[in-house]
Amino acid sequence: SQKIEQNSEALNIQEGKTATLTCNYTNYSPAYLQWYRQDPGRGPVFLLLIRENEKEKRKERLKVTFDTTLKQSLFHITASQPADSATYLCALEGGNNRLAFGKGNQVVVIP
Amino acid sequence: GAVVSQHPSWVICKSGTSVKIECRSLDFQATTMFWYRQFPKQSLMLMATSNEGSKATYEQGVEKDKFLINHASLTLSTLTVTSAHPEDSSFYICSADGGYLNTGELFFGEGSRLTVL
């Protein structure tokens, strides 16, 4: 069966450090992968998209890698700030341009 | 950036009543909109894909007669939860395909919290 796995445990990290989140998937062949941020009680906000032929993408303090052999994406927040505290969702193109989401991984940045 | 507005942001209703949720793309036209449901600490589950002027495509296990979707214009899609029951209580989120930007990005509404008593 198809699975998108993100760590269920919250990541607590000191301000200024780099937060790294993992997204592993099974039985998908996504043309692209996306990361979203979701705050409590709010809709997701798009952060980055990386296509299957791209290894790495950067946007300001964010970096995403995509390894289609390992079926894994890593999401990095460098120089993390308390305002980065949120849940981060991994989403895959699941066919017919529909997005399938992971459960998300909560990040807590400690001042 | 593109904005998607969802209304109402929260609603409480009695069991057996119907509730309508609206999703509007404010500054772009969306030929495709998606409706998701999210339970606490769970992933967003796609319920249906809504295409302007045609019938919605429902995901497996989603009752089309219970969750009525209407995409009457390029800027508006509605989800009606008919004969709501407490188990329908959830966070409903719509998104619109910003395909015109050619980024693959989806623009999400702020979500609608439904509580059925």
Sequential DSSP letters for chain B: ---EEEE-SEEEE-TT--EEEEEEESSS--SEEEEEEE-TTS--EEEEEEETTSPPEEPTT--TTTEEEEEEETTEEEEEE-S--GGG-EEEEEEEE-GGGSS--EEE---EEEEE-
Instruction: Give the pLDDT mean for B99-108.
Output: 69
Instruction: Give the pLDDT mean for B40-68.
Output: 91
pLDDT classification of B31: cutoffs 50, 70, 90: confident
User: Residue B103 and residue B85: Cα distance in Å, rounded?
Assistant: 38
- A–B: how many Cβ contacts below 8 A? 53
Instruction: Give the pLDDT mean for A71-92.
Output: 97
> Could you tell me which of A46, A32, A50 has the C-alpha nearest to residue A88?
A46
The residues pairing with A91 across neighbouring beta strands, listed in sequence order, are: A34, A101
Residues in Cβ contact with A1 at an 8 Å cutoff, skipping those fewer than 6 apart: A26, A27
Higher pLDDT, B1 or B71: B71
User: Residue A45 and residue B64: Cα distance in Å, rounded?
Assistant: 28
Radius of gyration of chain B (CA): 13
- End-to-end CA distance of chain A: give it in Å, rounded: 41
Is the pLDDT at B101 greater than 60? The verdict is no
The answer to whether B91 contacts A41, with C-beta atoms less than 8 Å apart, is yes
A28 touches chain B (CB under 8 A): no
Is the pLDDT at B100 greater than 60? The verdict is no
User: Residue A92 and residue A71: Cα distance in Å, rounded?
Assistant: 11
pLDDT classification of B54: cutoffs 50, 70, 90: confident
Q: How far is B15 from chain A (nearest CA, A)?
A: 23
> Could you tell me which of B7, B9, B19, B15 has the C-alpha nearest to residue B116?
B15
Do residues B52 and B31 touch, judged by C-beta distance below 8 A?
A: yes
In percent, the amount of chain A with pLDDT more than 70 equals 99
pLDDT classification of B53: cutoffs 50, 70, 90: confident
A48 touches chain B (CB under 8 A): no
Residue A52: CA count within 13 A, CB half-sphere? 11
Structure token pair of residue B102: 């050619």
Lowest mean pLDDT among A58-72, B7-21, B61-75, B87-101: B87-101
A30-78, pLDDT tens digit by residue? 988 999 999 999 999 999 999 999 999 999 999 999 999 999 999 999 9
The answer to whether A34 contacts B105, with C-beta atoms less than 8 Å apart, is yes
Which conformational region is residue B83 in: left (phi greater than 0), alpha (psi within -120 to 50 degrees), or beta?
left
Choose the closest CB to B110 out of A43, A101, A103.
Answer: A43
pLDDT classification of B61: cutoffs 50, 70, 90: very high
CB-CB neighbors (< 8 A) of B49 in chain A = 96, 98
The answer to whether B105 contacts A97, with C-beta atoms less than 8 Å apart, is no
Q: Is A82 helix (H, G, I), strand (E, B) or coil?
A: helix
Amino acid B72: pLDDT: 83
User: Residue B85 and residue B61: Cα distance in Å, rounded?
Assistant: 17
pLDDT classification of B98: cutoffs 50, 70, 90: low
Nearest CA in chain B to A9: B41
The answer to whether A4 contacts B43, with C-beta atoms less than 8 Å apart, is yes
